[in-house]
Amino acid sequence: MKKIFHLSMFVAFLALTACVSNAKFPVSPVVPAADISVTKRINKQKNFIVEIVAVNLAAPERLSPPGTNYSVWIVTKAHGIKNIGQLNVKNAEKTTFQSITAFDFYEIFITVEQQGDLDSPRGTELSRARIKR
């Protein structure tokens, strides 16, 4: 009976971790102290959950040239580049970001922008990560 329980727990663990992809953003020349990572998961509704954790990320107004926000972009397989939100950063504190999108994507990047409701990136790109899956 214990073997069946352990086997079922192992299968459940594999099912949960099979749908998760992790990546670290490379060191950015714009904000070299920043340590940024991303996780991509699929939920029950077949949407993609994006989670970003950034540590030591300078506030956008402290950069040169300064910005008003950090915008998060995904490169989708069928629909091009999409803006999925903004990172809310207090200078050098740990920042978390979560968004849900219906678009499957293979790459994610962050830009410094002057406004948040853009359809395409216009500002300086901080860093870009490729998501395997």
Read off φ and ψ for residue 62, nearest 5 degrees: -90, -5
Instruction: Please check whether residue 79 lies inside any domain of the structure.
Output: yes
Strand partners, 129: 108
Instruction: Please check whether residue 5 lies inside any domain of the structure.
Output: no
Read off φ and ψ for residue 96, nearest 5 degrees: -120, 150
**pLDDT of the residue at 5:** 55
**pLDDT tens readout for residues 23-68:** 999 999 999 999 999 999 999 999 999 999 999 999 999 999 999 9
Distances (CA, A) of 97 to 1, 39, 48, 72, 77: 42, 10, 14, 9, 22
Instruction: Please check whether residue 16 lies inside any domain of the structure.
Output: no
Instruction: Please check whether residue 26 lies inside any domain of the structure.
Output: yes
Instruction: Please check whether residue 63 lies inside any domain of the structure.
Output: yes
**The whole model's pTM is what?**
0.84
**pLDDT of the residue at 93:** 83
3-state secondary structure of 103: coil
In one-letter notation, the amino acid at residue 84 is I
Range of the domain at 94: 21-130
Instruction: Please check whether residue 42 lies inside any domain of the structure.
Output: yes
Structure tokens at 119: 């359809």
How many domains does the chain divide into? 1
Q: What is the CATH number of the domain that holds 61?
A: 2.60.40
Instruction: Please check whether residue 98 lies inside any domain of the structure.
Output: yes
3-state secondary structure of 99: strand
Give the span between the Cα atoms of 128 and 28, in whole angstroms.
9
**pLDDT tens readout for residues 102-133:** 999 999 999 999 998 899 999 999 999 999 86
Instruction: Please check whether residue 12 lies inside any domain of the structure.
Output: no
- Percent of residues, the chain, with pLDDT higher than 90: 77
From 21, 105, 111, select the one nearest 63 (Cα to Cα). 111
